[in-house]
A = this chain, B = another copy of it.
Amino acid sequence: MRERSIPEATVGRLPLYLRALVEMAEAGATTIRSETLAEAAGVNSAKVRKDLSHLGSYGTRGVGYDVAYLIHQVRRELGLTQHWPIVIAGVGNLGHALANYRGFAERGFRIAALVDVDPRKIGEVVGGTTVRHLDDLAAVVKQNDVAIGVICTPASAAQEVAERMVAAGIRSILNFAPAVIAVPEGVSVRKVDLAIELQILAYYEQRKAALADVKRRGKAVADLAEVSPP
């Protein structure tokens, strides 16, 4: 293949493959089959092969993929050969957790700054970074060439923070606040909502309970089947 613009679904899985590949490499593997990689990433092998074929033909028929080379290719495709300075806005519980999360640094994301508006938090050192005032955002972004912002504020502040980030030159935002934020064309937003994930689980859980109920009573089960999310 080797085309511009990889399918969105594939992009979403590349980091998964990358993590699995790095683990394999650390375990000493030099070569890997699509089947093995699939298992480690929690998908099926056809998907792995199709996904990887979008990056190019990096496998060897009858053998598999060279682990180190594939890691390099996936990193390059994802843009992880460079380092990404990020800014976290909102140093509450979640902001704290993210600031201390070692997984970011391991993957090339450096926390350039933490910002908040609470005067009690400013000056505090969290995860090795001193908390600054939100007003310093523009300066920090310019100085460190920050392209990615993370919003960990309450929902009520999310839109304003997003606007400030965009004004400061940030073009990619990861939003943990339980709110929809509006941004101009050209700015990417991804959101993670912890409560939403639980609600989705609750739906399937409830259906499982209903199914068990029906089974117990010996009613027709056909139309309640397939209750688990794939």
Query: Does chain B have a CB within 8 A of A133?
Result: no
Q: Are B194 and A194 in contact (CB under 8 A)?
A: no
Q: Are A198 and B107 in contact (CB under 8 A)?
A: yes
Residues of B within 8 A of A178 (CB): 19, 103
Q: How many copies of the shown chain assemble into the complex?
A: 2
Across the interface, A101 reaches (CB within 8 A) one of B12, B80, B107, B194, namely B194
Query: Does chain B have a CB within 8 A of A87?
Result: no
Interface residues on A, range: 35 or more
Contacts A41-B180, A100-B93, A178-B103 known; A109 to B188 CB distance under 8 Å? no
Q: Are B194 and A78 in contact (CB under 8 A)?
A: no
Across the interface, A4 reaches (CB within 8 A) one of B14, B92, B223, namely B223
Residues of B within 8 A of A11 (CB): 200, 203-204, 229
Residues of B within 8 A of A14 (CB): 199, 203
Q: Are A103 and B42 in contact (CB under 8 A)?
A: no
Query: Does chain B have a CB within 8 A of A125?
Result: no
Residues of B within 8 A of A192 (CB): 192, 194, 197
Q: Which residues of A pack against B, CB within 8 Å?
A: 3-5, 8, 11-12, 14-16, 18-20, 40-42, 77-80, 82, 84, 86, 92-94, 96-98, 100-101, 103-104, 106-109, 147-148, 150, 171-174, 178, 180, 185-188, 190, 192-209, 223-224, 226-230
